[in-house]
Structures are given as structure tokens and as C-alpha cells.
Structure 1
């Protein structure tokens, strides 16, 4: 099977958001490498820089107004192997946790909202903080770090005592990994990559806020998914109407103080209680029934 066919299959499979996000980043990275080579050898390096100006996020508000799509494209764009490798590894490791416990839609919400928040904080800082005044006209930003850090902090907020085995270090709880990355971004907010580190902090804030709001029953990604569902619905074929007559019976009852349905799908109250238990005692403390309810909730959306 060809590489192209593998890519097509990855985008056709349902509930495959993590792999799709990684693939998009890798494909953009490879395409830009090829474009840089071709443009440099044929037209000159200036042509590639001009192309990047339509993808990277500009700190200058006047430029951004003419290219608003860059608030999205910048967090799918990388230059340098270490840059994309580090981001994609963190996206895979921590994204697996979000995907397993909260589902693909929550993972997509965190990635997109975290990237947007990082980009907005970057532009606001460069335009309203005097320290960055000299850089505002020429600074541009690319990279998925803000999106990835949103996912890292979200996973650490949801499962603070979950442990990763790090090479040469051993088992480390992910709350300490997230804390280290946040402190690293704070320390770099006055360095050469100040704009990027400020964006990281915007993503980290969204990751923490997203989980805290979710535990209170508020899904910050709901408006985004409503928009996506509307757009995709425009391109879906409407099925032919079939008129059938059948008798239906609806039953609702209460179990353990929470409303359930005959389909067995857990209520929001049940999910909130399970998330609180994970936050305080870890995923391992859940019963088999609670794990099943969490899985059903992730499939509901």
C-alpha cells in the first residue's frame, strides 16, 4: 500500500483526530521543505520568505488584518526538524491521554483554541507592552507549541498523578512535566524567542481553563464544533426520506441520584463526578463501570 493511500485512510477513519493532526503538521513541513528548495534554486530565497508571510502569524496588526487566516495556519507550520519532532512527540504522548479520557472532539478543541489563544496573546503583547515595541513591526511566529502546551497542561490538570517513564530519569508525574514546560516558557519570555514563549503561556492557560470549565459542566469547544458541524453538513448528501411507522417506548429513571436513559449513556452529572475522582485519585481509582461510562461519554460526541 502506498504512502498516499495510508494518508487517505488516516483521514477517512472516524475518531482519528490525533493521527490526523500529526499528519497535517508533517505534510505541511515536508511541502515547505520542497517549496523552499525549489523557490531558492529557481527564483531566489526572497520568494520563499514571501510565501511564508502568508502562513506565519505577524505581530503587526495592520498586516494581520489583511491575512487573518494566519491565526490558524501558523500552528500547523514548522521550520527545523527539532522544532517539529519535539512538538509532535508531546502532542502524541499527551494527546493520547486527552483522546482516551475525553474523546477526539475535546482533543481537537484544545489544539485549535490553545493555538488561537497563544496567537492572540502574542499579538497583544507585541502591540501593547513597551518592551516589545521595537520588534512589533517585523516579528512573525510559527509552530504548534501553544496548541501542544494547551494539551499538555490539560492532561496534567485532568490526570495530575499520571506517570510517564522518561529516559535517564525514570517515572515522573505529568503535573511536574507540565510545570517544567510552563516555567521554561516564562523564563524565555524575555529572550530571543519571546513571542513564541508568550504564545506558549496563552496555550497553557487555555489547557488549564478548559479542564476546569469541563469539570463544571461547561465545554469551551462547543461553539467551535457547532461551526464545524455546520460547515461539514453543507457538503454532506442528504439521505432520501423514508416514512416508517413504528412504536417507540421511552424510559427514564434514576440510578445513584443521576438521570440515565435506556441506552445507558451517562449524564453530565455522572461524568463530572468521574472527572473529579480522576483529578483527586487518578484514573486507576475508577471502577470498571465508571471507566465504561467515561468511554461512552467520549463516543457520545
Structure 2
């Protein structure tokens, strides 16, 4: 097997967030090489401009700005935090739901940046310029995890444990402090937009409402445009009196599995992640890999 095929095989085995991290790294390297060797700034076509009229000319930048980074430490920090947050969240929630939080955070952060840049006087927050980086999406995931499972811990430097809610407090305080100091204000406004989205998503989910359901359907429709159409005919089964009549064994197992996941998530919302038994934690971990 050639080295390229080996890399391709390893990429396919990554989960969705592993692939997002790889894509971010490839874009960063490609952008750097093209800029250094050919003086071609491809990022300008994908980063988010501060002017509404410029955004109308490249509306895709409301999402694509999250795949471009300004420097080495910028991308390393964001991808490292994304790795840990995604691992925690996908152990409990559907990967698609975690993706909703991430990309809605990027979208919400971008819109917050645009609103401040175009509504509040320019010299107040100095939000003019362009926005780039996945920080708003990472911020949304951080707040989502901190609100939904505040007492869940991460082990830092293999030395001590820290709760995600305390990490979130530190990050939000730091961003507000830097915003008021006038440092990279446009970027920190996007962070705050991401925090707000993460809070709204988690607090509504605790009440049983998934505010990302519509966004997920929209993304599924968009992705469906690029999938090859199947030539197989759809066969509709006639439903009987029972709600399970006509369902395949796989559909019935999926239904039962989702019911069990819902019961465990309800337990987490009431008593916290640490209240789960070892078997329940293992079940959630395996469910998150599907």
C-alpha cells in the first residue's frame, strides 16, 4: 500500500471531528504555501468581511471563515480544544448534534461580528477588517458542555482535574477582559456570539428542545444535493394497528436504542454525568461512535 493510500485509509477511519481538524490543518498549510511562494492570498475569498455588502458577494464566508486561521498557535490552540470538547460531547450526544453546535456557533459568531461592525460605531469596538478562525465554534462547544454537564471534568497535564464549567468561566472572563482592553475586538465579539449560542443550545436541550433540528435538516438537504441518486425503488410497507407492525428488526432496535439514550441523558440532566453507572457510560460511549 502506498503512503498516499495509507493516509487516505487513516483519514477515512477518523470520526467527523477528526476529519474537520485534518481539513483545517491542510487548508492552513496550503494557504501558507500559496501565500509564501506565489503571493496568492486565497484566504480573502473565504474569510468573513466586516461590511454587509461584501458579505452578500461571498455569503459562503459566514461558514468558511471558520476553516482559516491567522497563525500557527491560533490553529493549534483551536484544534486542540476542539479535539477535547468533541471527544467529551460525542460520547454522550449524536455526532450530528455536536456538529450543529459547532457550525451554528461559527454562524452565530460571524453574525455577531457583522452586527457589531455595522451597527455600533466603528471606533467603539474596532471590529472592521475580516474575521477568520474556528474560535466561535469552539466557544459554542465549550459553553454547551459547561452548561449541559457542568461537573464533567478534564484531566490537565496528567496532574489534576478541572471541571468544564470552571474552564468556561475562565475563558469568558478572559475574552471580556481582552475585549474591553481593545485587543482583537472583532474576534472576541465572535467568541461571545459562540458562547451565547452554546448556552442557548444547552439550556433548551435540558428542557427537551433541540434548537438545532431545523439547521440539521437544512444541512442534510444541502449535502443531499451532492449525493448520487439511487435508482432503487422505494417500497412502502403498510402499517398495522400496532405502532411496531411492519418495522424491520433493525428499525425496532434503533428505536429501543434511542429510548435508552434519552433515558440516560435525562438522568444526566437531573443528577450529572457522574451519577451514571459504568454500563451506562460504556453504552453512551459506544452509541457516540455509531
Category of TM-score, reference length = shorter chain = 0.7 to 0.9
In structure 2, runs of 5+ residues without a counterpart are 245-250
Alpha-carbon offset, residue 177 of structure 1 = 0.5
Any conservation in 2 of the 1:76–1:144 contact (CA below 8 Å)? Answer: yes
Given the two structures, how large is their TM-score scaled by the length of structure 1? 0.80
Number of residue equivalences? 282
Given the two structures, how large is their TM-score scaled by the length of structure 2? 0.83
Matches within 5 A, 1:3-82: 4-6=4-6, 8-9=8-9, 12-13=12-13, 16-40=15-39, 47-48=40-41, 51-82=42-73
**1:215 aligned onto 2:206:** yes
Q: Which residue of 1 aligns with 2:133?
A: 143
Any conservation in 2 of the 1:150–1:203 contact (CA below 8 Å)? Answer: yes
**1:106 aligned onto 2:97:** yes
Matches within 5 A, 1:1-301: 4-6=4-6, 8-9=8-9, 12-13=12-13, 16-40=15-39, 47-48=40-41, 51-130=42-121, 132=123, 135=126, 138-167=128-157, 170-190=160-180, 191-234=182-225, 235-241=227-233, 262-263=252-253, 265-266=255-256, 271=261, 274-287=264-277, 290-291=280-281, 294=284
SS at structure 2 position matched to 1:189: helix
Q: 1:141-170 deviations in whole A, cap 9, x for unaligned?
A: 110000001111111122211112223872
Any conservation in 1 of the 2:90–2:289 contact (CA below 8 Å)? Answer: no
Alpha-carbon offset, residue 103 of structure 1 = 2.0
- C-alpha distance in 2, partners of 1:159/1:38? 47
Alpha-carbon offset, residue 58 of structure 1 = 1.0
Any conservation in 1 of the 2:126–2:186 contact (CA below 8 Å)? Answer: no
- C-alpha distance in 1, partners of 2:260/2:202? 16
Question: Relative to structure 2, which stretch is displaced further, 164-173 or 214-223?
Answer: 164-173
User: In structure 2, do the counterparts of structure 1 residues 263 and 19 end up closer, same or farther at CA, with 3 Å as the change threshold?
Assistant: same
Alpha-carbon offset, residue 238 of structure 1 = 0.8
- C-alpha distance in 2, partners of 1:110/1:3? 35
- C-alpha distance in 2, partners of 1:102/1:242? 30
Alpha-carbon offset, residue 267 of structure 1 = 8.5
Any conservation in 1 of the 2:50–2:129 contact (CA below 8 Å)? Answer: yes
Alpha-carbon offset, residue 74 of structure 1 = 0.6
